[in-house]
Amino acid sequence: MISDNDKISNYQLNIFVILTIIEIGMAALPAILVKEVKSDAWILSIITGLVNIPFLYIVSKAAQKTSTQGFVGCLKSLFGKAAGTILAIPVLVYFLFMVGLESRLFGETVKMYFLQRTPIEFIVMPIIIEAVFLAKGGIEVIGRFFEAVFFPIVLINVLLILIAIPKNDFTNLLPVFSADIKEYFSAIIAGSNSFFGYELLLIISPYIKEPKKMFKTSTKALLIVTGFYTIAVILNLGKFGVEETKSLMFPVIALAKAIDVPGSIFERAEGILMAVWVLHVFTTMAMITYLYSVVGAEIIGHKGIKHIATLYIPVVYLFGLLGNSVVQVFKNINMVGATLGIYTVIILPLLILIASYIKNKGGSKG
């Protein structure tokens, strides 16, 4: 029997953050960056990753405050019961939207490349249900799943990267620093959406074994994600060049389609890519499902997260069906990320820190 069942070790936290951040948005990331800054896209992805580190710092410091009472509990104690609950509701809505839009966008890619005639509802429904199944088991089961899946994911990703390297024209990465500072800023804002995901620290901090090391571990994870994204952008630029990448909707998937490994059993690597992608998307969705069921349960005061997760399936499904076309879905994601995302990731942790600082000061004085 293994003791300390419910606590998440550093290694597990690392994997959580990595797998939660990498989601379907990454497939479109090179196009988004290249549209703004052309051939500096790979520098931009590094910079966007680094820019997210101070936000990560704020989030982890705020997470340390929530580690005793849980997320909603901490909000309630800092701001009072009513205000705390009101502050927590946008977070819940953000997570619901994220799962819905994620599943929808993923469904669109699957439909576009693989199952053209299958109705999108049937593509999206099974993966939402499976995410709920996993989230029902609690953080321990999620941790085991992520760990078990991590190794094959890394292996296949490395394999894909290796077969994408030949026939790449890496001189497409030049010229460097050819864009203006203004374009840099707009690219950072556009690309940051793909780097969000570390807000999970706020909610699972009660289960972390070593809260003091939260920041270090998550930074390591964020850097790994940044490296991965940068490699994807570099490979894309090398294969297609600036103009082509700008025009593709999902450059990463098109890259997998364009890989040519003559003489192998699989001429098209996109099957392998989609297999790995299902795992990436599923891990993100399962984690966010767990997060919203925890927040939802705490808001209502209910103990069993399983019921909340199951209850919200129709809501998530409907949120996913909101956009009318693929273009609309992209716009929705940007909108949600710009409003609720920034609230959850930046504003709320800041509020938590400020409020706890004031309270501490007040407390020590009084």
Structure tokens given for 77? 């104690």
Instruction: Please say which residue, 54 or 119, places its beta carbon nearer to another protein.
Output: 119
Contact at 8 Å (CB) between 287 and 200?
yes
The reply on whether position 35 binds another protein by CB under 8 A is no
Instruction: Please say which residue, 266 or 357, places its beta carbon nearer to another protein.
Output: 266
The reply on whether position 327 binds another protein by CB under 8 A is no
3-class secondary structure, 322: coil
Using CB under 8 A, which of 68, 260, 300, 347 touches another protein?
Answer: 260
Please state, as a whole number, how many other Cβ atoms lie within 10 Å of the Cβ of residue 247. 13
The reply on whether position 241 binds another protein by CB under 8 A is yes
C-alpha 172/C-alpha 242 separation (Å) is 7
Using CB under 8 A, which of 21, 92, 134, 297 touches another protein?
Answer: 134
C-alpha 307/C-alpha 79 separation (Å) is 27
C-alpha 155/C-alpha 105 separation (Å) is 25
The footprint of another protein on residues 81-120 (CB under 8 A) is: 110, 112-119
Instruction: Please say which residue, 326 or 346, places its beta carbon nearer to another protein.
Output: 326
The reply on whether position 160 binds another protein by CB under 8 A is no
Residue type, 47: I
Residue type, 254: A
Instruction: Please say which residue, 101 or 132, places its beta carbon nearer to another protein.
Output: 132
C-alpha 309/C-alpha 234 separation (Å) is 39
Instruction: Please say which residue, 38 or 76, places its beta carbon nearer to another protein.
Output: 38
CA dihedral 179, 183, 184, 189 (to 10 degrees): -160
Between the two ends of the chain, the Cα-to-Cα distance in Å is 47
Using CB under 8 A, which of 72, 127, 202, 233 touches another protein?
Answer: 127
Using CB under 8 A, which of 83, 89, 158, 275 touches another protein?
Answer: 275
The reply on whether position 2 binds another protein by CB under 8 A is yes
The reply on whether position 258 binds another protein by CB under 8 A is yes
Instruction: Please say which residue, 18 or 279, places its beta carbon nearer to another protein.
Output: 279
From residue 30, give the alpha-carbon distance in Å to each of 71, 179, 197, 231, 324. Answer: 34, 16, 19, 10, 24
The footprint of another protein on residues 171-230 (CB under 8 A) is: 171-172, 174-175, 178
Contact at 8 Å (CB) between 39 and 242?
yes
**Minimum distance, C-beta of residue 131 to another protein, in the bound complex (Å):** 9
**Minimum distance, C-beta of residue 136 to another protein, in the bound complex (Å):** 9
The reply on whether position 73 binds another protein by CB under 8 A is no
What single DSSP character describes residue 7? P
Residue type, 94: Y
Q: Which residues bind another protein (CB under 8 A)?
A: 1-3, 9, 11-12, 110, 112-119, 122-123, 125-127, 129-130, 133-134, 137, 141, 143-145, 147-149, 151, 171-172, 174-175, 178, 239-244, 247, 254, 257-258, 260, 265-268, 270-271, 274-275, 278-279, 282
